[in-house]
Amino acid sequence: MSTIAQDDTIRMLTWNVEHGGRDKDGAVHRRHLAHDVMASYRPHLVLRQELTGAEADGRRPLWEEATRLGLVAFLAPATPESPNATGVLLDPNVFEVQAEYHHVTNGWHPICNPVVKFKGTARSVSLASVHLCSYDPPTRAREARRLLFLADQNRSVLLGGDFNSYPHRAQAETVPLPDWSRVENTGHFERRTVWRGDEQVSDVEPDRILASERVLAGGRVQPGVYAELGHHAATTLGQPQALDATASLWRADEGHRSRIDRMYATPDIAAALTSFEVVASEDVREVSDHALLVAEFSATRLRQALTRAA
């Protein structure tokens, strides 16, 4: 368990650990290495995807991970079609849990959604671990719209996960969208593209739904419901490495690596962000086909924002 250090930092991780770190032969070396990697960051909050098999044996794998990190765990249900559950782990010394929700209907992977208070503040924060549908763009768009509801009525939200789709502001990215003429995996092409006119283009709709600006009457720009934290770190904090690609770290038949793993926050929380890192170290690449995301927030600024807004 990590307390808020003298550097005034709240540290958050998001990671899709491929099949929970368990190999087909039952070996769990990758799982234990994943625990070591995450523990090295002393996180206060972890949003996890592919907690595969975490419900087994009285949720023993889930509690093994929580114990290693010194956190408490919340788990959305797996489904008959996919065992790859989402989960949230958090530090009870930092966050006071108020409620726990699971969003199951009309999506592929249920969303794990505990609601907490940052201790010392009065305003609730809705946390969400997300793994959008891997095979169907319309389902991904529907799941993204579901996430908009979390921020309804001016609620504060912090979410992250594997979005299986691409950033919508291609001109601001350091990694280009896939060149589909060079991708021979036709199934992947069909799963990750949408029709625009008479051509198929990269699916950017979930990011557009969550984080696109609108121009109102009189030319006033209305920001998106959420700030996408990698983009925010790159454009506001001067951290271009926040736009590094995240997946696939393993496969070569899906085109070049892309930034499909992302974090989002309502503007009050995004304003407290101090750094954002995409980690694809040797250990991370051994564990998973997805990079690890590390976001740091100023505890002081977060506390001020959540107190002012209460």
pTM of the model: 0.97
Mean pLDDT for the stretch of residues 174-197: 97
Any domain includes 2: no
DSSP code string of 83-124:
----EEEE-TTTEEEEEEEEE-TTSSSPEEEEEEEETT-SSE
Tell me: the pLDDT tens digits for 75-101? Answer: 999 999 999 999 999 999 999 999 999
221 bridge partner residues: 215
Burial of 33 (0-12, 13-18, 19+ CB in 10 A): middle
Contact by Cβ (8 Å): 260, 131: no
Tell me: the pLDDT tens digits for 10-56? Answer: 999 999 999 999 999 999 999 999 999 999 999 999 999 999 999 99
Any domain includes 291: yes
Decide if pLDDT at 1 tops 90: no
Tell me: the pLDDT tens digits for 224-251? Answer: 999 999 999 999 999 999 999 999 999 9
Tell me: the pLDDT tens digits for 126-185? Answer: 999 999 999 999 999 999 999 999 999 999 999 999 999 999 999 999 999 999 999 999
Structural domain for 149, as ranges: 9-308
Give which of 236, 268, 54, 79 is closest to 157, Cα–Cα: 268
Any domain includes 156: yes
Any domain includes 113: yes
Any domain includes 3: no
Give which of 171, 169, 189 is closest to 179, Cα–Cα: 189
Any domain includes 271: yes
CATH of the domain at 173: 3.60.10.10
Any domain includes 159: yes
Any domain includes 203: yes
**Domain total of the chain:** 1
Decide if pLDDT at 104 tops 90: yes
Q: How far apart are the first and last CA of the chain?
A: 28
228 bridge partner residues: 264
What are the two backbone dihedrals, phi and then psi, of residue 47, each rounded to the nearest 5 degrees?
-105, 120
